[in-house]
Amino acid sequence: MLNARLVGASTMSLVGNFAFNNYDATADRAGAVAQPGLGRPVSSHYFNTAPSPTEEEHHGLHGAKSSYSQKRRRSTQTGRPPKDIIGTADQLDGGKEGGTEDSTTDDEDRKREDEVLGLARRLTAQSSHTEPSESPFYADGDSKLNPHSKNFSARAWAKAMLNTHLGDPKTYPLRTVGLAFRNLNVFGYGVSTDYQKDVFNVGLEAWGFAQKMLRISRRRIDILRDFEGVVNAGEMLVVLGPPGSGCSTLLKTIAGETHGLTVDPKSHLNYQGIDSKQMHKDFRGESLYTAEVDVHFPMLSVGDTLTFAARARLPRHVPGGVKKTAFAEHIRDVVMAIFGIGHTVNTRVGNEYVRGVSGGERKRVTISEATLSGAPLQCWDNSTRGLDSANAIEFCRTLRTQTEINGNTACVAIYQSPQAAYDIFDKVIVLYEGRQIFFGPTTVAQEYFEKMGFDCPARQTTADFLTSMTSPQERVVREGWETRVPRTPDEFARRWKESEEHKRLMIEIDEYDQRYPIGGEHLQKFRESRRAQQAKRQRVGSPYTLSYSQQIQLCLWRGFQRLKGDPSLTFTQLFGNFIMALIIGSVFYNLQPDTSSFYQRGALLFFAVLLNAFGSALEARSLTP
Ligand SMILES: Nc1ncnc2c1ncn2[C@@H]1O[C@H](COP(=O)(O)OP(=O)(O)O)[C@@H](O)[C@H]1O
Ligand SMILES: [Mg+2]
């Protein structure tokens, strides 16, 4: 279910879409084989068979193409440039440079350019400036521009998209958000005793309530203690730890979903120049938390669910002058194709009680919905739950491509991460009972613990090895190191604080704070970019993209779709009311217009109120399946 928070999220950026068709390059890098299960990876075969663009077609694009290549190469040589607000061509720059030099070849550059051009193509054709015959809007049958056709060519499609984007002077600048945190403490409150309420102890309950109100005898539960880290824009962080160690709490804190939690006011959080208060108030939709469970309207079809998500973040100006509804539908179709749920467009989403799409497909609906938000900071809480390992890797790859091209930042909690998925990430944080025992590049994490005196058993994945540090039964201590290795969570945390890696991290955080001072230039740019996307009538400080009337319109549309999806309750009610109206009407038929009917009229009014009250009781049933 898309909540209001999501409605406020930024409009999915055009270039964000390029990401999806790009993940075969990332797949090569990750050393994994592209899986046909999730989505429609654009194979190199596809690129070979796609016809090459004609000179005329690309006349205006060469400049952008070559400048992109140059930038890409330069960035590979000089390391990751700090991502700021990114524009149309700039944002194709950067990405995961560290450790991937060998794969960032010209070949790959060319392939990515091709994909980007291809994805852009289709929208140009939708624009009012192009010939209807080129438009995917009017494309039917076996056209390359028709996403439902077998011949659908992502390349031709994306070329149209980029054409539009580059040709549109009103195009908004895209924005990015990174994050640095220090002294991050999060706690909750619990009561020391709890019991089943009954007639006799209800008095005690009142006393407990009074205590709660007066804030006495509340027990503070420390969930996260003294966390530190920095995730630059365009980076991916994997959060590792056993259940109960605080993974969800960390992600929620980063995304600002702190209901029921207390973040220590002394904690320092710097969202690339924006403080946490402003980030979670004015820019609420810019940081997204995708919960572990899939909550959707069960009776709504997959297509409608995702259409709502796409329309909720339509920008003020859709590039190329495309009709907004068509644009949203188009983006939706692309995302569905990418995640391989195109065939479920008319199927109900369903839930535990209502039969709908399968569990894995539902998870992909959730992922698609969140992807459509295009939020620059995304937190995914165990979103690979219920997916097989091939699909889990595919999910990480899609995220990787988004972060590379669009400059998004992703924090992902994964239990049982396959090696190929782990390798996709830039940084890792390891949690042990609410303590941070490591933060740093994924490539050095294993070495850090091996240096400490632990052995990684053969064929154990790095992620499993790191998580095994938090379990005395699982971790393997090297012979002779038994007395030297840390044992308790506190000992691990102390070792981390004393380590070289920690010192390096502190320097990195300081540099980050200097580069992005709170309230500095970046905030200004971020706000401007956000403003350019919001509807004209929306307040500048509002986290919502759509104006109030647009939101109402959209929700009404969804309400109607829900009614269509499950009309039984409404019709039962209508039918019931009709019968009751006949019965009550016949009882009170022909009342005289004088005081003799006074009491009957009172009774009639009573019935009218009573029946409506019972009617809403029926509605309550529809809230809980
Ligand atoms: N609001 C809260 N108040 C008190 N304790 C909480 C609260 N939220 C979570 N916890 C506790 O904090 C610990 C970490 O929770 P969580 O972040 O959900 O773990 P994970 O996602 O790693 O499984 C758990 O022991 C949980 O019981
Ligand atoms: Mg959790």
* 141 Cβ below 6 A of ligand 1: no
pLDDT at position 436 is 94
Nearest CA, atom 2, ligand 1 = 188
Q: Can you tell me which atom of ligand 1 is nearest the CA of 188? A: 3
pLDDT at position 46 is 27
* 246 Cβ below 6 A of ligand 1: yes
Euclidean distance between CA atoms 386 and 295, whole angstroms: 14
In DSSP terms, which residues pair with 187 in a beta bridge? 222, 262
Q: Where are the domains of the chain?
A: 4-167, 567-623
Residue 328 contacts residue 352 (beta carbons within 8 Å)? no
Q: Can you tell me which atom of ligand 1 is nearest the CA of 260? A: 1
Helix (H, G, I), strand (E, B) or coil at 186: strand
Burial class (CB in 10 A: 0-12, 13-18, 19+), 396: buried
pLDDT at position 520 is 84
pLDDT at position 197 is 77
pLDDT at position 166 is 60
Residue 28 contacts residue 112 (beta carbons within 8 Å)? no
pLDDT at position 159 is 59
Q: Can you tell me which atom of ligand 1 is nearest the CA of 251? A: 17
What angle in degrees, to the nearest 10, is found between the helix axes of 106-126 and 324-338?
Answer: 140
Measured at the alpha carbon of residue 97, what is the angle toward residues 94 and 101, in degrees to the nearest 5?
125
Instruction: Take residue 413 and report the two structure tokens written for it.
Output: 């909690």
Burial class (CB in 10 A: 0-12, 13-18, 19+), 291: middle
Euclidean distance between CA atoms 196 and 205, whole angstroms: 10
Euclidean distance between CA atoms 109 and 75, whole angstroms: 12
Euclidean distance between CA atoms 173 and 165, whole angstroms: 11
Its sign, for the CA torsion 456, 460, 463, 466, is negative
Helix (H, G, I), strand (E, B) or coil at 573: helix
247 C-alpha to ligand 2 centroid (Å): 6
Ligand 1, pocket-test mutation among 194, 219, 223, 254, most atoms within 8 A of CB: 223
Strand 274-275 vs strand 268-271: parallel, antiparallel, or unpaired? antiparallel
Nearest CA, atom 17, ligand 1 = 246
Ligand 1, pocket-test mutation among 187, 225, 249, most atoms within 8 A of CB: 249
Instruction: Tell me the CA end-to-end span of the chain in Å, nearest whole number.
Output: 15
Nearest CA, atom 7, ligand 1 = 188
Nearest CA, atom 24, ligand 1 = 244
Q: Can you tell me which atom of ligand 1 is nearest the CA of 243? A: 23
pLDDT averaged over consecutive 10-residue blocks of the chain (625 residues)?
Answer: 40 36 36 37 32 35 35 37 42 38 49 51 42 52 67 59 64 82 90 74 78 73 93 94 93 91 92 90 89 90 94 82 83 82 90 87 90 89 87 86 81 92 94 93 94 91 93 91 90 94 94 91 84 79 86 94 88 88 91 90 91 75 58
Nearest CA, atom 26, ligand 1 = 244
Nearest CA, atom 18, ligand 1 = 248
* 261 Cβ below 6 A of ligand 1: yes
pLDDT at position 429 is 95
Q: Can you tell me which atom of ligand 1 is nearest the CA of 190? A: 4
Nearest CA, atom 11, ligand 1 = 223
pLDDT at position 15 is 35
pLDDT at position 622 is 60
Ligand in closest contact with the CA of 259: 1
Euclidean distance between CA atoms 435 and 412, whole angstroms: 18
The total of other beta-carbon atoms located within 10 Å of residue 596's CB is 9
- pTM, two decimals, is 0.74
pLDDT at position 193 is 67
Instruction: Take residue 273 and report the two structure tokens written for it.
Output: 């120049």
* 245 Cβ below 6 A of ligand 1: yes
Burial class (CB in 10 A: 0-12, 13-18, 19+), 498: exposed
